Amino acid sequence: MNVVDRFLQYVKFDTQSDELTNLTPSTPGQMIFAQHLEKELTNLGLSDISLDDNGYLMATLPGNCDKKVPTVGFIAHLDTSPDMSGRHVTPRIIEKYEGGDIVLNAEKNIVLSPTQFPELNDYVGQSLIVTDGNTLLGADDKAGIAEIITAVDYLRTHPEIKHGDIRIAFNPDEEIGQGAHKFDVKKFGADWAYTMDGGAVGELEFENFNAAVAKVTFKGRNVHPGYAKHKMVNSIRVANQFAIMLPRWETPEHTEGYEGFYHLVGIEGDVEKTVMTYIIRDHDRDRFERRKKELEHLARKVNNEFPECVSLELKDQYYNMREKIEPVMHIIDTAKAAMERAGVVPKVQPIRGGTDGAQLSFKGLPCPNIFAGGLNFHGRFEFVPIPSMEKATDTIVEICKMVAE
């Protein structure tokens, strides 16, 4: 089975994660998918296959070298984003895309257009896999899973290619920030690993945001509006006052590259109580810490005007893996060289987001991120060029060869 056939099969599984269940995996579809993959790996003859109660699937392709070489790992996640439905995904292949608009759903007038998504112009002449406009596609990260299994299968059926032990793992709940929480690094047993969870072809990432979540609660006082003067405290208005005190331009829609931000992701409230949820992101650790202190400062400032109105809960989520990767930069050099051998131009860039690899790196498993090929993740306009998936598969093979060399 080739990488495309696997991918088209995998996206049929509904594996959307859900941060509200407090379970691992957070949704039953992820375990169903993991059990399917467990059977596939068994049929391929891999060894040390294990699937635990939390949905973490691991396996080994034993090495065939006559010398001891490092054990390298490859990791991808089972779940798709909660941002949009991943149920009843109906993928379609656009053969040799000729440019221009792609009608995803004529009835609903849903069009994938280079006017809104100019990156489409980079793939003219290539075959693309798109959605039907009703769901996301699931290339994040079922493309990564398909690439890893296809690469391992290729090495298995080509014993003339020498390689060391190769460990693979598929974990749940990456999209809700829980993917690495119960990952058993010691059991995995790799010297280092790569997550196949990046975007466009050539992406190679070993820097990511430092991340925190902030819950800001505003306590109000409700009084009949006709008699409210000097008595009412409208928590919605106080929350709005807090929000506009943050730097206007330090938001996702105004930042790029290494620029950090405050992102208001949720607000719910009435006069008596309003809760705002922010995520805080910055690549630089010092700026990250200053952003958290700024929220604390603003909370105190508002409380000076409205005593005991504001309470703030801050929780760190993950940190920039760069500090864990820099001492072992040879794993980045290996990935870059492997891409070049596979005919790919490496594009080393920071991740404007998070990755399981960040948490794994801090748990003792250095784990940069490699492209899986998809674009426009988490929505109906997601697509993946078939040559990008093939190049990702080739890159995995080349890494394994180079580690043995």
pLDDT value for 196? 97
Same domain as 218, residue 159: no
Q: Are residues 237 and 182 in the same domain?
A: no
Residues 147 and 284: their CA atoms lie apart, in Å, by 32
- Supply the pLDDT for residue 216: 98
Report which of 12, 371, 324 is spatially closest to residue 180, judged by C-alpha positions: 324
Q: What is the distance between the alpha carbons of residues 78 and 56, in angstroms, rounded to a whole number?
A: 9
DSSP class of 175: G
Q: Is residue 206 over pLDDT 90?
A: yes
Structure confidence at residue 354 (pLDDT)? 77
DSSP 13: S
**Beta carbons of 127 and 92 less than 8 angstroms apart:** no
Is 305 marked active-site? Answer: no
Of 273, 300, 318, the residue that ends a domain is 318
d(CA 14, CA 89): 8
CATH of the domain at 29: 3.40.630.10
Say if residue 41 is in the same domain as residue 61.
yes
Sign of CA dihedral 329, 332, 333, 334: positive
Domain boundary among 298, 318, 338: 318
What pLDDT sits at residue 355?
82
| Residues 295 and 331 placed together within one structural domain of the fold | no
Q: Report the alpha-carbon distance of residue 9 to residue 169 in Å, rounded.
A: 19
Question: Which pLDDT tens digit goes with each residue over 156-204?
Answer: 999 999 999 999 999 999 999 899 999 999 999 999 999 999 999 999 9
Q: Note the pLDDT of residue 291.
A: 98
Same domain for 302 and 362, yes or no, is: no
pLDDT tens digits for 24-60?
A: 999 999 999 999 999 999 999 999 999 999 999 999 9
Per-chain mean pLDDT for the chain? 97
Q: Are residues 349 and 376 in the same domain?
A: yes
| Total residue count of the chain as it appears in this document | 405
**Domain ranges, residue 198:** 3-207+320-404
Regarding whether 169 and 140 lie in a shared domain, the answer is yes
Known active-site residue 38? no
Q: Please write the tens of the pLDDT for every residue from 130-163.
A: 999 999 999 999 999 999 999 999 999 999 999 9
- Same domain membership, residue 163 and residue 39: yes
How many domains does one find in the chain? 2
Do 201 and 171 lie in one domain? The reply is yes
Q: Provide the pLDDT for residue 353.
A: 81
Shared-domain flag, residues 169 and 50: yes
Mean pLDDT of 88-102: 97
**What is the arithmetic mean of pLDDT over 215-243?**
97
Same domain, 62 and 134: yes
Q: Does the structure show a pLDDT above 80 at 263?
A: yes
Percent of the residues in the chain that have a pLDDT greater than 90, as a whole number: 97
Question: For residue 165, what are its two tokens?
Answer: 């032990």
Sheet containing 310-318, strands listed edge to edge, beginning at the edge strand earlier in sequence: 261-269, 273-282, 210-219, 310-318
Task: Find the distance separating the first CA and the last CA of the chain, reported in whole Å.
Answer: 28
Q: What is the pLDDT of residue 177?
A: 85
With 80 as the cut, is the pLDDT of residue 10 above it? Answer: yes
Let me know how many helices (H) and strands (E) the chain has, helices first.
10, 17
Give yes or no: residues 139 and 224 share one domain.
Answer: no
**Which residue among the candidates 14, 141, 173, 174 is catalytic per the annotation?**
174
Catalytic residue among 38, 79, 141, 173: 79
Letter for the amino acid at 115?
T
| Domain CATH number, residue 264 | 3.30.70.360
Q: Which of 255, 284, 318 is the C-terminal boundary of a domain?
A: 318
